[in-house]
Structures are given as C-alpha cells and as structure tokens.
Amino acid sequence: MQGPVRIAPSILSADFARLGEEVRAIAAAGADYVHVDVMDGHFVPNITIGPMVVKALRPHTTLVMDVHLMISPADPYLDAFAEAGADILTVHPEAGPHIHRSIQRIKGLGKKAGVSLNPGTPAKMLDYLIEDIDLVLVMSVNPGFGGQSFITAQLKKIEAIRKMIDKTGRQIDLQVDGGIDALTAPAAIAAGADVLVAGTATFKGGPTAYAANIAALRG
Ligand code: DX5
Ligand code: ZN
C-alpha cells in the first residue's frame, strides 16, 4: 500500500558550512527524512561525505536519517554508518556482486535496508530481494550530482515496483530520487512513489523558503 507522501530533503544541496543548522531548519519546515548522499568518486564521479558527518549531524535531529550509499564497495562501511546513527542504509546492486549479503548485514545491524536502482537497471533486479527490504529507491537521474533533470521513463519503473510492493503486503517505502520538484512530484506520486527525495527544490531560496518549498512538493 502506498503510504502518505513523505519528503526527504537531500542535504547535498544544503550549505555544507552550516549543516547542523540546515538540518534543524528542514525539520522545522516539515521534512520527514534527512537524505544523506554518500559518494566515493569511484561508483559515481563525485565525492561527498562519510560516516563522521552523519555522526556529527545525529544530535541535531530526531528525523529519520536516510543514508544513500553511492559507493563501491559498500559492505566495508555499513557498520560505520550504522554506528554513526543512520536509520536507513540504501545500497546499489550495481555497486557490488553480493547485494543480498549487504541487505543481510544492514538488517543484522538493526537498521532498515534499502535497494537503489540506477535509471538503466530493471525493476526485475528486485524479484528475489523484495521480501527482505524496507525501501526501494528509484533513481530518476544518473547518480552523482544534484540539479539534474527528471528522467520521465522511470515512471514506468515506479509503477511496476508499486505493484511488486503491494503484492508482498508489507510496508516498503518507494522512494524517488533526482529532479523532483513541484512539477515532477505529482507524476511520481501518481506512479506510486511515497517518499520524495529533493535537494535543489528544498534548499532553493534559503531557510526562509524551506517550509513553502516542502509544502509545494506535497502537492
Ligand atoms: C544524486 C542524489 C540525489 C540528488 C537529488 O546522485 O542521489 O539525492 O542529490 O538532487 P536534486 O533534487 O537536486 O535532483
Ligand atoms: Zn540520493
């Protein structure tokens, strides 16, 4: 069942020199999750942040800390992100040979496990994983950078995954990430997404605009 729409601002578009304040500001503005984009300059062309930053942010918020790992390999770092205070750890099957092992490890650490699919990766990839996971993240841009345009073809994939999730009868978040704004959000929600990641669209205009920006995404 599609859950209520939740907004997960990607702090990739926040002011990195004031991250604690930024996280408090999005919480006050009505955000549901804090989406943390971890990039290694190897799996994706960009480098961002690691577990130390998650640890530093943890005391600043009670929101769900939703950590999106765009790193290869991911397994050696799962424990560190869990200890740092992540609530959800999302990994890419394209980033390593043993996605099921990664999921098992995340659950063994007592965290929610997510699987993220790149735009070129089919929904079918989830066939033998769906019963074990708590979140599916559909990338609606190629991972690596904020501010890219929404790839409309991903809507079909979201529809297919919504059906797969509903068949399980379990509560699994269906998250869409990349190019989400007030114009693209309604189509993503109509296709079945219930968690919207938004970096550019949340943080544009600075802290006084965050509440209106987040409200606009909910439609
Ligand atoms: C891309 C990241 C996204 C990205 C979203 O690799 O996973 O979370 O920051 O940024 P916007 O909302 O600006 O497309
Ligand atoms: Zn992300």
| E strands present in 71-145 | 88-91, 112-117, 135-139
The residues spanned by each domain of the chain are: 6-218
12 lines ligand 1 (CB under 6 A): yes
178-201 in b/e form (b: 16+ CB < 10 A) is bbbbeebbebbbebbbbbbbbbbb
Q: How many angstroms from the chain centroid is the CA of residue 105?
A: 19
- 103 Cα–ligand 2 center, Å: 18
pLDDT of residue 135 exceeding 90, the answer is: yes
pLDDT category, 192, cuts 50, 70, 90?
Answer: very high
Sign of CA dihedral 45, 50, 56, 57: positive
147 lines ligand 1 (CB under 6 A): yes
Quote the CA–CA distance of 113 and 188 in Å, as a whole number.
22
pLDDT category, 188, cuts 50, 70, 90?
Answer: very high
Residues whose CB is less than 8 angstroms from the CB of residue 124 and which lie 6 or more positions away in sequence, other chains included: none
Residue 44 alpha carbon, nearest atom of ligand 1: 6
What tokens appear for 42 in the block? 């190897």
Q: Which residues surround ligand 2, an ion (CB under 5 A)?
A: 37, 68, 177
DSSP string, 200-217: HHHHTT-GGGHHHHHHHH
pLDDT category, 219, cuts 50, 70, 90?
Answer: confident
- Under 8 Å between Cβ of 202 and 143: no
Q: Tell me the pTM.
A: 0.98
Tens of pLDDT, residue by residue over 138-173, are: 999 999 999 999 999 999 999 999 999 999 999 999
6-218: CATH topology is TIM Barrel (3.20.20)
Residues whose CB is less than 8 angstroms from the CB of residue 53 and which lie 6 or more positions away in sequence, other chains included: 19, 36
Q: What percent of the chain has pLDDT over 70?
A: 100
Active site residues: 37, 177
51 lines ligand 1 (CB under 6 A): no
Phi (first) and psi of residue 28, to 5 degrees: -65, -25
Please give the angle made by the CA atoms of 144, 187 and 9, to the nearest 5 degrees.
45
Ligand 1: residue of 7, 11, 12, 66 to mutate (most ligand atoms within 8 A of CB) is 12
- 114 Cα–ligand 2 center, Å: 12
**Shortest CA distance to 78 belongs to which of 46, 112, 48, 45?**
112
9 lines ligand 1 (CB under 6 A): no
pLDDT at 107: 98
Tens of pLDDT, residue by residue over 60-118, are: 999 999 999 999 999 999 999 999 999 999 999 999 999 999 999 999 999 999 999 99
